[in-house]
Amino acid sequence: MAGKALSGPKPDGQPTLAFLLKLAAYYRLGDDGCCRMRISDVRTRLHGALFNDYDLIQAHIEHVSASGRSGGIEAVFSKALTREFNRRGEYPSAETRLSDAGLQNFYEGRSDGRLDAYFADQLGALEYKAVRLPRKMSDPRFYVGQLLPDYQRLNNSEHMRWGFLVAFCYGPLVADCSSEAALYAAFHNQMFVDCKLAYQAGHDYFTSDPVQDLEWDQPWAGPQPSWAIAVLNNDIGAVAISAYAEDWSPTV
C-alpha cells in the first residue's frame, strides 16, 4: 500500500519468478502494475479505526449532540481512520485539489474541490461523510446531495484505479442495528428514501445514473452487496462503497 514504511516480502538472493508473484500478491498489483486498495482492505482499516478510537469518537458525538450540534463528527471519524492508515505505514494526502488529481467536480456551482484522502502512487482516493441515521436535517438532499457527486468524481477510470465512498454512521438507527448487514440496509434505505423525496420535490438529478449505479433507486433487503461493506461497533459504524469498476463483482 501507499506510504513511507512498506515492509513486504524480501528476496533471498536474486528475485525469482515465485518471489515476484508473491510480491505482487502482497501489494495487490493490478494488470497494469499499480497497487490497488481492495474493499477488504478498507474494511480492515475501518474496523481498526472504529474499535481502537471508539471512546474518542463516541465522546465527541455525545458532546456535540448534547448541544444540538453535529460539528466535527466527520473530522473525528476521519482522523481515527487516518491514524489507522498511519499505523500500517500508509500516508494518504489530505485536501488534494481535484484538478491536481485530474478529477472533475460535480457539485453544482463549484469549479474545483478537494479529496479527503488521496493515494497518489496508487491513483486511489476516499471521500468521507458523517451520516446520522435517521437524517435529522429537513432537506432530503443533505447527504445524498454530497455523496452522489463524490461518487461521480471517484468513478473516473481515466485518472483513478480505485475509490471508495465512506459514510461514518451514528445515531439511533445505528444503535438499533444487530449486525453489519443491518447497518448497510439502514444506510442504503435512508439514501433510497432521500433520493425519492428529493426527486418528488422536483430535483431530477436524484434519478440519474449515479443513483442507479448505487442502487439507491430501490430499497435494500438481504446481505451486503459485493461492492460495499459495513463495519459496526456498538452505536457507531461505517459503510464503504466502491466506485471503482473492478471491485463491483462477486469475486471481491
Higher pLDDT, 226 or 198: 198
**Residue pLDDT, tens place only, 152-177:** 999 988 899 999 999 999 999 999 99
Poorest-pLDDT segment among 12-16, 115-119, 122-126, 209-213: 12-16
The whole model's pTM is what? 0.84
CA distances from 55 to 39, 83, 156, 177, 237 (A): 25, 15, 36, 19, 13
Q: Is the pLDDT of residue 34 over 70?
A: no
The reported pLDDT for the residue numbered 85 is 97
Domain ranges of the chain: 36-247
Residue 54 near residue 83, CB atoms below 8 Å = no
The reported pLDDT for the residue numbered 28 is 53
* 109 burial type by CB count under 10 A (0-12 exposed, 13-18 middle, 19+ buried): exposed
Instruction: Give 221's pLDDT tier (boundaries 50, 70, 90).
Output: confident
Instruction: Give 249's pLDDT tier (boundaries 50, 70, 90).
Output: very low
Pairing type for strands 114-115 and 96-97 reads antiparallel
Position 29, amino acid: L
Q: Tell me how far apart the alpha carbons of residues 66 and 60 are, in angstroms, rounded to a whole number.
A: 10
